[in-house]
Amino acid sequence: MPTLTAASQLLTEARKHQSWITSIRRQLHEYPELGYQEVRTSEVIRAKLDELSVPYRWPVAKTGVVAQIGRGDGPCVALRADIDALPIHEEADVDFRSRTPGKMHACGHDCHTAMLLGAAKMLKAREAELPGVVKLVFQPAEEGGAGGNMMCEEGALENPAVERIFGLHVWPQLATGSIGSRPGVFLASAGSVTITVQGKGGHAAKPNLAIDPVATAAKIVCELQTIVSREVDPLEPAVVSITSIHGGEAYNVIPPEVKLIGTIRSLTMPGLEFLQKRVRAMAEHVATANRCTALVEFPGHDYPPTVNDAYCWDVAQELGREALGEEAVVELPPTMGGEDFAYYANRVPGCFVALGVRNEAEGAIYGVHHPKFKVDESALPIGSALHTAFALRSLAELHDKPRPAL
């Protein structure tokens, strides 16, 4: 096995780059961009890669970038960061608050991008020693756009073929200086639902002359909850959440239509398909019983569950303990959040790791997708060091494995 730098030493080195990594994160944070619109973000990434003399392919999946460090015919390992923001107006008390009203890096993708660029800096310094290739995958449109799937379809895992992939996600439930994940299913399969309830509008003073979609929509919302509570095994996680209701404009008018939107989640794709089937049947039958109709649609993408390779998680745990200490690595329960890292992990062995960024003293206490979301930036070099360690350890192990003849 080629000589390896200890993960603890990599962390010491990464901390020397903290100001560089943090400045990138803050630059990205000020100018958030939504999925497949990450033009400025992509420019920043490419500029930093040019600064490091790291070659890359662009555009991939419209605004994505795939960089490559290393040479030769050895194994290939990938590290992935998502780059898009969310349609949330920022309320966090930071000097580098979003300059774009209604858009915010509320899920830490600015951190992910900066940490991967930090790893690029460290890996480039070792390029002559690498026993293979490290791909750096900067992916757009994680937040509902299935950018990971498009990256794969456009060859992000090919030429050379990726044999392992790792991703990090900032995790406000974990204290800075810790990491977590689990073998097997870590995050849920997830999809969206839209239900359009159509009735007959009329004067609110004469409801008998109308067919009320508001009352019907309310019944649908309540009945949908019985799918999870009465049709799914209590020991099997499942979610059916209606998160938005729109209908009507005036206090004295029954509208002709009400629209419901929400999310459906399960830890398996068959589970997600079952929930979708029952949501459709329940909504349509409740609507019919109330003289309305319900148009049920599942727009967007059905994200598969994120399934971690057990051995890749073993590698991540070992390196995490080496860098942060024995107690710093925790095995987490599955979560009903969804992630399109799943698209990569469905194709090659991989591991998605939660990186602690919680620090009560700095107000880094809010969850992702919250307008006051903050991170403890001292966690950023930890992420860069772990990315680097994942790549170096995996290349060394894969290099020493017997390889098939070409």
Residue 116 CA to residue 110 CA, distance in Å, equals 10
pTM comes to 0.94
Q: 396 and 359 share a domain?
A: yes
Q: 291 and 223 share a domain?
A: yes
Residue 1: inside a domain? no
Residue 320: inside a domain? yes
Residue 5 CA to residue 7 CA, distance in Å, equals 6
Q: 66 and 104 share a domain?
A: yes
Q: 93 and 222 share a domain?
A: no
Q: 171 and 314 share a domain?
A: yes
Q: 335 and 215 share a domain?
A: no
Residue 329: inside a domain? yes
| Residue found by looking up tokens 């030429």 in the block | 159
* pLDDT number for residue 4: 65
Cβ-in-10-Å burial (0-12, 13-18, 19+) of 277 comes to: exposed
CA–centroid distance for 250 within its chain: 39
Residue 406: inside a domain? no
Q: 195 and 280 share a domain?
A: yes
Kind and range of the H or E element at 284?
A: helix 269-289
* pLDDT number for residue 402: 57
Terminal C-alpha separation, the chain: 22
Residue 362: inside a domain? yes
* pLDDT number for residue 404: 43
**Residue length of the chain:** 406
Q: 283 and 350 share a domain?
A: no
Tally of domains within the chain: 2
Q: What distances in angstroms separate CA 171 from CA 1, 11, 113, 177, 330, one per listed residue?
A: 33, 19, 15, 11, 12
Among the three residues 297, 322, 357, which one is the final residue of a domain in this structure? 297
Q: 249 and 339 share a domain?
A: no
Residue 177: inside a domain? yes
- The one-digit pLDDT tens for each residue of the chain (406 residues) are 444 679 999 999 999 999 999 999 999 999 999 999 999 999 999 999 999 999 999 999 999 999 999 977 799 999 999 999 999 999 999 999 999 999 999 999 999 999 999 999 999 999 999 999 999 999 999 999 999 999 999 999 999 999 999 999 999 999 999 999 999 999 999 999 999 999 999 999 999 999 999 999 999 999 999 999 999 999 999 999 999 999 999 999 999 999 999 999 999 999 999 999 999 999 999 999 999 999 999 999 999 999 999 999 999 999 999 999 999 999 999 999 999 999 999 999 999 999 999 999 999 999 999 999 999 999 999 999 999 999 999 999 998 875 444 3
Domain span at residue 236 reads: 189-297
Residue 178: inside a domain? yes
Query: Residue 160: is the preceding peptide bond cis (ω within 30°)?
Result: yes
**Which CATH number characterizes residue 280's domain?**
3.30.70.360
Among the three residues 271, 297, 323, which one is the final residue of a domain in this structure? 297
| Residue found by looking up tokens 């239900």 in the block | 195
Q: 283 and 367 share a domain?
A: no
Q: 38 and 124 share a domain?
A: yes
| Residue found by looking up tokens 């602690």 in the block | 356
Q: 284 and 336 share a domain?
A: no
Among the three residues 234, 269, 297, which one is the final residue of a domain in this structure? 297
